[in-house]
Amino acid sequence: MNLQLKPKAIRAAATRLRFRTRAFIDGQFVSAQSGRTFTTENPANGRPLAQIAACEAPDVDRAVKAARRAFESGSWSRRKPAERKRILLAFADQLEAHAGELALLDTLEAGKPIADCATMDIPDTIACIRWHAEAADKLYDHVSPTGPENLALIVREPVGVVGCVIPWNFPAQMAAWKLGPALATGNSVVLKPAELTSLSAIRMAELAAEAGVPPGVLNVVPGLGETAGQAVGRHPDVDMVAFTGSTEVGRSFLKYAAESNLKRIILECGGKSPQVVFADAPDLDTVAGHAVGAAFWNMGENCSCGSRLIVHQKIKDKLVAKVVALAKTWKVGDPLDPQTRLGALIERPHLEKVLGYIESGKAEGARLLLGGRRILEESGGYYVEPTVFDRVGGRMRIAREEIFGPVLSVMSFSTDEEAVALANDTNYGLAASIYTGDVNRAHRVARAIRAGTVSVNCFSEGDLTTPFGGFKQSGFAGRDKSIWAHEQYTELKTVWMQLT
């Protein structure tokens, strides 16, 4: 289904949607063995959307067994890379043919603006699968420079059964960041979506099967983190887990691996990203545009959210006035309205957490310049105004903790050293932006900032050709996207031959 971004067409398409609510294991939809379900709701109005199969350890075990069987059979793992490419490209075509439906599923379940889902999330999801598919038959292995009496091949093989555990903020896209490289390199996958957003992942697995991905190669086990997620993490026959989510839960996966089979763990976790604006930044209107986008895009429910605006004192008041004026123009409201820039926060507990941070900012002495309130309460949805705090101190909670909401903290500096120290004064290291007209300063500061992606004169997460992941407690041992993601889903093998 393709979607016209017009209010009437969107509403009509939303009412026609049919939800897939069961697990997808071994090429089939199945209920949880316990028969239990959990409710997923629409954060735009707080009403239930669907009952989803609540998978637990026995369901995860069934999915892992199917994945292992598929892996051992070679139906995918030993298929010619060019054939895997062809099938994954067909999968991408299927996603494209159902792009409108997938955009609506993510909007309904996650409260994300439909305009974002239709023009960014789902196109990026499709592009991601295509990019990794295309790479499948373009990567060469190595011959080692040994002496004439030996031949040593250094080859990459799929890791085996890969568990993917993902968050709710970009449901389809986070699935694609894992599935693209994991499937392109020949692994079998057991995907555990976030319990708040299962629908697009289940549908993606069905579309993959229709495109020719063999049974057992892509399984989806919806369920709660404590049960289904933990079962994936502790399963003795899962070879690797690729996780995206909070640092706290990421840490648990390291424990699960240590206490089970030492499975490989790749973590993509939280952030508290700085946006550093120097006094020589070329155009403050442009900077304000990027700063507002970085802070409020996806309601601030974004791992690389530029939640700390660190500005040279000389230009701070001027820039902050522009940021506030622009943020006021961001329409908050119904995620199905194509004009909406800020939709609903994901759920009531998260809304309360974000409002709690706003209260802590006030109590700790920051100056509230904009927003700060829950709005549209009568809708039953979880909406918060774009919020800007000035005079934020480095020890305040709003300066240190990941809020994951539309809350921007402004701080100021007077020297480059101070700016770098403030930017790095965090346990996280996912992303950063620098704004300056001086190319030397840009390079110097980009080197000094401890983060996986540093953007200069923009807010960006790069594109599919660039790795994405974090330093410090923003990540562990891996990267999403790019050719580096392929490597992490493979084992390195040496084949050493004695020549006679």
Nearer to ligand NAD, 62 or 481 (CB): 481
Nearer to ligand NAD, 41 or 480 (CB): 480
Point out the catalytic residue in the list 41, 195, 206, 268.
268
**In terms of Cα–Cα distance, which of 83, 125, 109, 80 is closest to 21?**
109
31 lies in the site for ligand NAD, by CB under 6 A: no
Nearer to ligand NAD, 77 or 298 (CB): 298
Nearer to ligand NAD, 37 or 73 (CB): 37
245 lies in the site for ligand NAD, by CB under 6 A: yes
Nearer to ligand NAD, 189 or 324 (CB): 189
192 lies in the site for ligand NAD, by CB under 6 A: yes
Q: What is the contact mask toward ligand NAD in residues 160 to 179, using x (rule: CB under 6 A)?
A: -----xxxxx----x-----
Q: What is the contact mask toward ligand NAD in residues 399 to 418, using x (rule: CB under 6 A)?
A: ---x-x--------------
What's 342's DSSP letter?
Answer: B
In the residue annotation, 268 being an active-site residue is answered as: yes
d(CA 493, CA 472) in angstroms, rounded, equals 29
> In whole angstroms, how close is the CB of 249 to ligand NAD at the nearest point?
3
> In whole angstroms, how close is the CB of 235 to ligand NAD at the nearest point?
11
Nearer to ligand NAD, 193 or 214 (CB): 193
d(CA 108, CA 196) in angstroms, rounded, equals 11
252 lies in the site for ligand NAD, by CB under 6 A: yes
Q: Which residues pair with 476 in a beta bridge?
A: 267
d(CA 116, CA 331) in angstroms, rounded, equals 13
Q: Is the separation of the CB atoms in 118 and 468 below 8 Å?
A: no
Q: Is the separation of the CB atoms in 434 and 397 below 8 Å?
A: no
d(CA 178, CA 166) in angstroms, rounded, equals 9
Q: Which residues pair with 383 in a beta bridge?
A: 375
In the residue annotation, 491 being an active-site residue is answered as: no
CA angle (76 as vertex; 74, 79 as ends), nearest 5: 80
* Radius of gyration in angstroms for the set of CA atoms belonging to the chain, rounded to a whole number: 23
> In whole angstroms, how close is the CB of 374 to ligand NAD at the nearest point?
19
Residue from 249, 287, 398, 408 in contact with ligand NAD (CB under 6 A): 249
33 lies in the site for ligand NAD, by CB under 6 A: no
DSSP notation for 406-448? SEEEEEEESSHHHHHHHHH-SSEESEEEEE-S-HHHHHHHHHH
d(CA 182, CA 201) in angstroms, rounded, equals 15
> In whole angstroms, how close is the CB of 93 to ligand NAD at the nearest point?
26
Site for ligand NAD in 74-103 (CB under 6 A): none
Point out the catalytic residue in the list 303, 305, 347, 385.
303
233 lies in the site for ligand NAD, by CB under 6 A: yes
Residue from 88, 221, 303, 309 in contact with ligand NAD (CB under 6 A): 303
**In terms of Cα–Cα distance, which of 427, 403, 438 is closest to 312?**
438
* Residue 15: partners with Cβ closer than 8 Å, 6 or more residues away: none
What 3-state class would DSSP assign to 315? Answer: helix
387 lies in the site for ligand NAD, by CB under 6 A: no
What 3-state class would DSSP assign to 237? Answer: coil
Q: Which positions are catalytic? A: 268, 303
Binding site for ligand NAD (CB under 6 A): 165-169, 174, 192, 194-195, 225-226, 229-230, 233, 244-246, 249, 252, 268-271, 303, 402, 404, 430, 470, 480
